[in-house]
Copies of this chain bind each other. A is one copy, B any other.
Amino acid sequence: MLPSIDIEELAEADCLELLRAEPVGRLVFTERALPAIRPVNFVLDGHDVVVRSAPGSWADRLGGSIVAFEVDRIDPATHTGWSVVVLGKVATVTDVDTLVRLSDPRHRPWAPGRHDRYLRIRPGTITGRRLALGRN
Contacts and interface: CB of A to CB of B under 8 A. Distances in A.
Interface of A: 2, 4-7, 22-24, 26, 28-30, 34-39, 41, 66-68, 70, 72, 74, 76, 79, 81, 83, 85, 87, 108-112, 131, 134
Contact of A34 (B36, B68, B131): B68
Contact of A28 (B37, B87, B134): B37
Nearest to A83: B39
This chain's copy number in the assembly: 2
24 contacts: A5-B111, A7-B111, A7-B112, A24-B76, A24-B79, A26-B26, A26-B70, A26-B72, A28-B28, A28-B37, A29-B35, A30-B30, A35-B35, A35-B66, A35-B87, A37-B37, A37-B85, A38-B83, A39-B72, A39-B74, A39-B81, A39-B83, A41-B79, A112-B134
Question: Most B CB atoms within 10 A — which of A5, A35, A109?
Answer: A35
